[in-house]
A and B are shown apart, each in its own frame.
Chain A
Amino acid sequence: MAAVTEPVPQTPDQINDDILRVLEPPTPLYVLGVLFCATLVGVGLVAFLYQTYWGMGPTGLTHPVMWGVYITTFVFWVGIAHAGTLISAILFLFRAKWRNAVNRGAESMTVFAVLIAAMFPLIHIGRVYKFYFMVPYPNQRGLWPNFKSPLVWDLFAINTYMITSIMFFFVGLIPDLAAARDRVRDWRRHLYRVLALGWRGSSEQWRHWSRTVLHLSGLSTPLVLSVHSVVSWDFATSLVPGWHTTIFAPYFVAGAIFSGVAMVITVLVPVRKAFGLEAYLRKEHFDNMGKLILLTSSIVGYSYGMEYFMAWYSANPYEQMSFWFRGFGYHWTSTWIMISCNVLSPLPLWFKWCRTNIAWMWVTSIFINIGMWFERYVIIMTGLSHEYDPAAWGYYVPSVVELTILVASFALFLTMFLIFLRLAPVIALQEVKELWYADRSHAKGHH
């Protein structure tokens, strides 16, 4: 990079100091932030309990729109959860160097997002206290779940993904937890001592560790593609016009990566600012993530166009009516929010100036987050509103309870992320150091 004006770390110790600075005692602002988010989570919990007590009545769900904000938010968080694994696993296998600075943040996001996503099907179902009917557990009645149902596939896909990404995240953390154990002197030392699993940094440990990371990367890579494909099949295997289409799996996977990367930017920009990590989260990282956004935005934009094209080309009146309704019917605003945010707002990123302008990237990423939530909302709601039977057409308006729980899910994400920030290094220490050494030896070789 020619125009590097950003600070560059000078020694490994400085890297330690810079990155582990996050472990120092919190500021009042931070405490206030955590409390605020936690309060919102509490409000969401009350809303959920209220809904559990009364049934789905307090929601806006009705006939014929039986899925609404909850499933939208579920798909949204599953999508967010994709960036972490993509960056950690796939880019690791491709040896993309720029991933090292962002992968820890992305992985933590993955874990939190997938945890939140996994909650939403439970919030959504009518009898949450009977959720285990979906789980194949041996029982003397000989009752099993229906393995033909995409929702059961979903259960397995999400759980597999959750377990793998937690393992991946934790294994990656071990050396850094050891570094933190060696650094902090307060009560957290005991916590890190346990979590670091006796890490001493011996070469044998390093060897095992790097093999494990490699294998887990290999294991995670197909999951990136499979999880959201399976989620998309929740829709694609149905016969709802606007859902029943083969484009859904790649379309959803691209959308997931799109939103996931955007969320990484949304979260890391404030962190970079707050903890002065400009030397590590450098502009080249944002430049690269901007390119990823452009790629996935194009795929998503193509999918939007292709959906409309197929609706026209198939001469299927149900599809045609559904897509006309999507664009110009009762819920047209949602559709145009989706298109503006996801297709139009990333277009300036074709210019490098925009990709390396942190503020620009941050604003764009927020637009994309909004747009991707609306994408799922539009698909789910407009598809169901105007199905086959014109006499059963209807509308859906989300209720206060649903929106409260939606907001609470963001609050929960932030709460977990904020607490995580203070518990472990948000930038993968050992990987940055590794890069530093690599860079130095590389430079030496030339001089």
Chain B
Amino acid sequence: MPEIDRRDFLKIVGMSAGAAATVACKEPIHHIIPYLNQPEEVVPGIATYYNTTCRICPAGCSVRVKTREGRPIKVDGNPDGPLARTHLCVRGELGLMRTYDHTRFKGPMKRVDNPDGSISHVAVSWDEGMTLLVDALRANPGKAFFLGGHETGTADALIDQALAAFGSAGQRLRFEPYAYEALRSGDELVFGTRAVPQFKIGEADVLIAFGTDFLETWLSPLANQIDFSDARRDGSGYAVFVGPRLGLSAANTDQWLAPNPGTEVLVAIALASEVARRKGTAPEALRGVLAKYTAASVAERTGIAASMLEKIAERIANASAPLALPPGVEVQGTNAARFAAAVQILNVVAGSVGKTVVFGADHNLAKLARFQDLSELAGKMRGGEVGVLLVHDTNPALTAPQVGIADAIASGKVFTVSFASAPDETSKLANLVLPDHTAYENWGDVEPVRGVKQLQQPMLRPLFDTRATVDVLFDASRALGASVPEGSLRDLLRAAWGGQASFDAALARGGEWQSVAATTVGLAAGAGSIDFEPSALAGNAADPVLVVYPSHHLYDGRLARVQALQEIPDPVTKTMWGSYAELHPETATALGIELGDVLVVSTEGGEVEITAYPHTAIRHGVIAIQVGQGTVPRDPDAPLSGQGTWGREVFGVNAFQLIPGKLDPESGALAWLSTHATVKNTKVRANVTRAQITFDQEDRGFGRAITLAALPKLEPWGRVGEAEARVRPQAEHDGHHVAPWQGDAEHLMIKQYDPAADAHPDSPYRWGMSIDQDACTGCNACIAACITENNLPVVGPTNVRIGREMHWIRVERFVEITDENEVDVRHTPMLCQHCGAAPCESVCPALATYHSIEGLNVMVPNRCIGTRFCANNCPYKARRFNHWSYNWYVPEPENLTLNPDVMVRAKGVMEKCTFCVQRINGAKDVAKRENRIVGDGEIQVACASACPSNAITFGNLRDPESAVAKVRTIPRAYRILEHLYTRPAVSYLMSIRRAEEA
């Protein structure tokens, strides 16, 4: 080509090189590709809902899962389910995080014993894993043992079949740390049946709980809470708590008796005695035992004045539907069965049996192992009677360190197969790990309560190379030549549910719910001759008594890997990310302990190092530690690693190991409350990670209360904004001091305002909210719901320690009175108030936050430059700042939980509660297509729909018929910091003090 000279050549070369380089500079282009074959029921951008069962705890609530483009993003209660009823608890809301946990087992693993004595695991294929399992089973004929969790459905039966195929029929334990052994034995002592009846909290007008954590873990905590709030609507209901600790459940009762630890049983039987004396209707058989334990006779040992017990007995005797709740594990001592029996005797004499204690629709707990059985299993393992241990859905190395199962596994004598889907203490020692799907990837069914049969279906294709355990066991059976039914778990499940058609119908519904007829029970023969003795406490009587109690967030530790649950402040202590030794401040002073001191707490069971946390919601002379911590920390490959120390110590300690292995001889239950603990102060100061530095509201009117006596005197709303004078009857504010939020409106210059006015005149909407503080229990379900709905990041312990948690809603806890006459602990959920005259809006230089025409206080993170003036100027402190790009460091596949309707915020911008604006807009889209405005109840914000107490009402204030507009006008309504004239759109209802004035 002669016409190209040197210069042209260079030009062309330069041009092409430049062009090539430009192309290389570009970001790769990601096309949005439509489905090639679009699944029939999936429309991109439109959520699909499936009913399934939450398997986070044994309660087994029916849930409805929102999925988008084939991945589940949000769990809500199934409105048709009898347990959850549209609501969900804090654990259930974050249950998906277990599935999306990136540190789960990616496939089968095999144990390797290193020369230095340590144990590690290497990945193997399923073929190799199956071969190892089958070989082990073949080498140990009839010596397989299945140690599982609470399993009540088809899978339960299928596992039994597989065990039979291995020649090890019946060699099985269903182990739960909270297994209600004492209650079952107590029922046997009193009623002659081991059934666990329904305790109808919702119908009880007087409730007395004996250390029962009915709002945390006891039986069916979500249903309990829904019922509890029903029983206490508008000032009805009355509750008394007997126990050493003012936990979440106790803080929501009206009176707190803290007898000498271990003597709670005497309180129960003395109450029964006093009630019987008043009602005079006690069965003849019980007269003898009741006469023996009068209020006066137990007063000295329990430390509770006879007059106090008599007052409570009076109340129970006069109640139409009283209910005594059997003891929870924190007061379960060496007398556990008899304690439960004493409570049931109280129920008998109070006339509750058949009314609020109903047999028939019993809790399906009959097959649960006793703790004693686990000890025996450990003995068998040591004795060589077990050749292959199959561990599924339970973690005895963490929750039962006393029995030595971990040592037996570690010794290598028993070939242990773990079916855990994520690493835990037991799988860490196992010879073989054959990971199961998580519950949201798997088929199954449960029957937590007789008549309540629920299906569980996969919400997404398994994320990792896992297999259903039932399938694995059946495959092994087939490999061993045994005959087991053909087909997979799904096929067998379908067959068990009566074939395709009825299976599909049940799947759509979520299960099958039949009412079960109540049965009557009579008194057992020996019920009248039971002796009641306090729990025996080992150790030095001068030392504090050790109280170990279940975790509201982490259950028994199985949820410790869910970081979001670690980061939600504990409902009582408001601490996050760790274990704390709780003491009464006076006990702490007597022992020379201050907040943050590292203590060495030891018992016969073991010894832990733990940070001291003095607070008043606990009895004198007691040291309380929550279980659930001290488990395998998630690997340090967590968000923001390397930008601060993710110290191992923040994960806390395993409190189970402090419980000496003593049993209640009658029930075979572990005696949790059985020892004093030696406390040594190391004088080392540790960080205390807590959300609230004070529980004193300094008389600022955040959480307000009204006595039952003054409630009728409250003036009706009349004009909006008027009448703070209504608060005045309150005894505590009768002094000379008048806080700014008190007094009459004129005196305070509180400008009257109509919150419905704070929107554009043409807008049909002004969104608002009302929160009933009396119903709010402080359970944190709203926070969990907000986290999953609005993509709130986990910021980690280092950042939380200095106060950078990103929750858009928090539950403020204010402790007013905690004594045996009255409990007044106020829970005030605090979120953006969407003020009509918002202080944040006027100070933003970039107009990143402004008032929308529908009255919302809108935050536009994209416009935000991060001056943070809005956060300073918000008196409610509702705004959260992105100090880091938290969500950018979320490892795959955890990013799949993100809600595609809500943006992910990056560093340097502010964010806050939006009133779930994505849901508002979604509902408005639907309404617009139908040419109408959004009706009341069409929009449920995430916190309101989760709230098991129905404390949150959201809606349109411009619609006078809406629930929120109505509830705002009832006399108990008030607004926080109203005197600042911020015109908040959130109003609160005062909590009601039901106790008599002392």
Contacts and interface: CB of A to CB of B under 8 A. Distances in A.
Interface stretch (B252-260, B577-585, B698-706): B698-706
A394 B689 CA distance: 12
B864 A127 contact: yes
A152 B848 CA distance: 13
Interface string B835-875: 00001001111111000000000000001111111011101
A396 to B, nearest CB: 9
B582 to A, nearest CB: 19
Given A63-B880, A126-B864, A317-B740, A133 B846 contact: yes
B866 A127 contact: yes
Interface stretch (B163-171, B460-468, B495-503, B799-807): B799-807
B847 A146 contact: yes
Contacts of B882: 55, 126
A149 B844 contact: yes
A239 B837 CA distance: 12
Contacts, number: 176
Contacts of A240: 872-873
A131 B863 CA distance: 10
B411 interface: no
A392 B872 CA distance: 12
A125 B867 contact: yes
A55 B877 CA distance: 21
Contact of A63 (B640, B696, B812, B877): B877
A391 to B, nearest CB: 4
Contacts of A384: 872
B877 A387 contact: yes
Interface in B796-843: 799, 802-805, 810, 812-814, 828, 830, 839, 842-843
B724 to A, nearest CB: 15
A144 interface: yes
Contacts of A237: 842-843
A150 interface: yes
A126 B693 CA distance: 27
A393 B690 CA distance: 11
B189 interface: no
Interface string B633-656: 000000010010000000000000
B513 interface: no
B694 A390 contact: yes
Interface in B878-898: 880-885
Given A127-B866, A151-B869, A238-B869, A55 B739 contact: no
Nearest to A316: B740
A390 B883 contact: no
A387 B697 CA distance: 12
Contacts of A321: 698
A397 B696 CA distance: 24
Nearest to B981: A239
B739 A134 contact: no
Interface in B699-717: 699-700, 702
B687 interface: no
Nearest to B849: A146
A145 B872 contact: no
A155 interface: yes
B682 interface: no
Contacts of A316: 740
Interface in A109-153: 121, 124-127, 130-131, 133-134, 143-146, 148-152
B883 A55 contact: yes
* Chain A interface size, under 10 / 10 to 19 / 20 to 34 / 35 or more: 35 or more
B941 interface: no
A125 B908 contact: yes
Contacts of B805: 63
A125 B863 CA distance: 13
B865 A127 contact: yes
A126 B692 contact: no
A55 B702 contact: no
Contacts of A54: 643, 884, 907
A393 B694 contact: yes
Interface in B963-984: 977, 980
A56 interface: yes
A144 B643 contact: no
B908 A391 contact: no
A318 B844 CA distance: 24
Nearest to A243: B872
B40 to A, nearest CB: 41
A204 interface: no
A62 interface: yes
B908 A55 contact: yes
Contacts of A389: 700, 702, 812, 830, 875-877
B473 interface: no
A64 interface: yes
Contacts of B700: 317-318, 388-390
Contact of B881 (A121, A126, A146): A126
Contacts of B802: 60, 62, 394, 397
Interface in A234-251: 234, 237-240
Given A66-B871, A67-B872, A144-B847, A388 B977 contact: yes
Contact of B885 (A55, A134, A148): A55
A155 B845 contact: yes
Contacts of A124: 867
Contacts of A388: 700, 875-877, 977, 980
B583 to A, nearest CB: 22
B908 A127 contact: yes
Interface string A57-73: 10111111011000000
Contact of B845 (A55, A60, A145, A317): A145
B843 A151 contact: yes
A302 to B, nearest CB: 27
Interface string A175-204: 000000000000000000000000000000
A61 B875 contact: no
Contacts of B640: 57
B909 interface: yes
A234 B873 CA distance: 11
Contacts of A131: 865
A64 B877 contact: yes
Interface of A: 54-57, 59-64, 66-67, 121, 124-127, 130-131, 133-134, 143-146, 148-152, 155, 234, 237-240, 316-318, 321, 384, 387-394, 397
6 contacts: A57-B643, A133-B848, A134-B865, A150-B843, A239-B980, A387-B875
Closest 5 CB pairs of A and B: A126-B866, A126-B908, A55-B907, A392-B877, A391-B812
Interface of B: 640, 643, 691-694, 696-700, 702, 739-740, 799, 802-805, 810, 812-814, 828, 830, 839, 842-848, 863-869, 871-873, 875-877, 880-885, 907-910, 977, 980
Given A126-B909, A238-B872, 8 more contacts: A63-B871, A64-B871, A66-B871, A125-B865, A127-B866, A134-B846, A148-B843, A391-B812
